[in-house]
């Protein structure tokens, strides 16, 4: 039930992440990507701070998230103020302001990054809602002349201890003709999900890995696919249970 409560906002998070990958593959931000990124990345902030917590609603996902978390973990485990404080981390995202600027001006522009040697770098932060509590995520975006990549970390405190996670996302490790080959790896330690008594759930390690393939048909179109595996556990945008991972899709450059 909790996973369903937060699924809508997390769908927007996944979309924002995909759009940001496109932005990172270029040196410029354009108004189309700006509009798409701002609307998706700002969705969680807008939802949490735009909710009237005094007026109870049986269909408001944020209120349902707080209610169900407290039903499982005890009164006052989660409150509107805690949710707002964690959500405010999303304001520490340079791409949010770059996209707003591109949207407001209607112009393409080269967005700044911190340069050191052959690399460029930008940090960002997000608050993550999980089925066992709140986590803080520190995102590290890197670019070199060959490919963009990310090294991200997350951490949170919950009833049975501390959760943590780390992920490495590399768009292109190598290329074979028109085929780009990348990877998406993650490890974590968190309470075991779908456990009979969540208050006694042991903390378990888990992982996921994917090999990403991008076949460039021409300068504007590509076919994406990903193959991998994920153990049981929470990772944003993935099933909760252990499962093989197969993804196929089309991409169009705007």
What pLDDT does residue 82 have? 95
Q: From the CB of residue 54, how many other CB atoms can be counted at a distance below 10 Å?
A: 6
Q: Does the pLDDT at position 253 exceed 80?
A: no
- Rounded to an integer, the average pLDDT of 48-55 is 90
Assess whether pLDDT exceeds 80 at residue 254.
no
The pLDDT of 88-104, averaged and rounded, is 96
DSSP letter assigned to residue 202? P
The answer to whether 170 touches 147, Cβ cutoff 8 Å, is yes
pLDDT, tens only, 166-203: 999 998 999 888 899 999 999 999 999 988 899 999 99
Q: In what order do the strands lie in the sheet with 114-116?
A: 114-116, 119-130, 133-143, 148-158, 161-176, 179-191, 203-216, 221-230, 243-252
Q: What is the pLDDT of residues 213-248, one digit of tens each?
A: 999 888 888 999 999 999 999 999 999 999 999 999
Q: CA 68 to CA 78: how far, in whole Å?
A: 9
In angstroms, the CA 81 to CA 187 distance is: 30
Residue 12 has pLDDT above 80, yes or no: yes
Instruction: Report whether 192 contacts 130 (CB < 8 A).
Output: no
CB 129 within 8 A of CB 137: no
């Amino acid at each position: 039930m909790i996973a369903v409560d937060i699924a809508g906002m997390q769908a927007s998070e996944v979309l924002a992440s995909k759009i940001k990958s496109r932005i990172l593959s270029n040196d410029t931000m354009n108004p189309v990507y700006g509009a798409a990124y701002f609307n998706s990345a700002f969705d969680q902030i807008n939802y949490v701070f735009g909710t009237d917590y005094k007026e109870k609603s049986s269909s408001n996902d944020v209120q349902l998230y707080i209610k169900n978390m407290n039903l499982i973990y005890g009164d006052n485990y989660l409150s509107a103020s805690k949710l707002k404080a964690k959500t405010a981390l999303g304001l520490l995202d340079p791409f949010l302001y770059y996209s707003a600027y591109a949207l407001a001006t209607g112009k393409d522009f080269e967005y700044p990054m911190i340069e050191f040697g052959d690399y460029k770098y930008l940090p960002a932060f997000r608050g993550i809602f999980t089925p066992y509590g709140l986590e803080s995520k520190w995102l590290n975006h890197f670019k070199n002349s060959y490919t963009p990549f990310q090294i991200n970390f997350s951490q949170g405190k919950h009833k049975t201890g501390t959760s943590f996670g780390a992920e490495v996302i590399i768009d292109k490790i190598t290329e074979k003709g028109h085929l780009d080959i990348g990877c998406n790896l993650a490890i974590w330690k968190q309470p075991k999900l779908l456990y009979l008594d969540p208050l006694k759930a042991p903390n378990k390690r888990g992982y996921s890995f994917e090999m990403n393939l991008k076949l460039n048909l021409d300068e504007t179109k590509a076919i994406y696919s990903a193959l991998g595996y994920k153990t049981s556990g929470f990772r944003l945008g993935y099933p909760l249970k252990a499962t093989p991972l197969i993804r196929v899709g089309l991409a169009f450059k705007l």
